Amino acid sequence: MYEMLIEFFVARPGRLSAMGRAAFHLSGIILLVGLCGRIATVGLSAIQGMGGAKPYETSLALLYPSLPTWWVPESFLGYGACVLVAVLGLLLVQMGKAIDRAIG
């Protein structure tokens, strides 16, 4: 199984670079959506605080119950996973370029 994957990417290193770029871009988009979600939840808490109510921490699932928000990072662990995927994507791009140079 692993031999097939290795042959698939070594035959055309551009595939490895494309997969790395896709992972990097996707994690960047998810990070931006997570930032927008964080702004929405903090904004709601601030508005509740200005209204005299005790502000409490809420989640996106409570704000948007009809939307699937399981993929949006809301904690340090979620943001860390997205950053890790971005770094792995950059490493894949560099590995693809290195293999392409070595093969010539």
Q: What pLDDT digit, counting tens, does each position of 78-92 carry?
A: 999 999 999 999 999
Tokens 């871009």 -> residue:
25
Q: How confident is the model at residue 42 (pLDDT cuts 50, 70, 90)?
A: confident
In this prediction the pTM is 0.83
Mean pLDDT, all residues of the chain: 89
Task: Of 40, 38, 26, give the one whose Cα is nearest residue 73.
Answer: 38
φ, ψ dihedrals at 78, nearest 5°: -65, -45
- What confidence score (pLDDT) does residue 76 get? 92
Domain ranges across the chain: 28-103
Q: How confident is the model at residue 67 (pLDDT cuts 50, 70, 90)?
A: confident
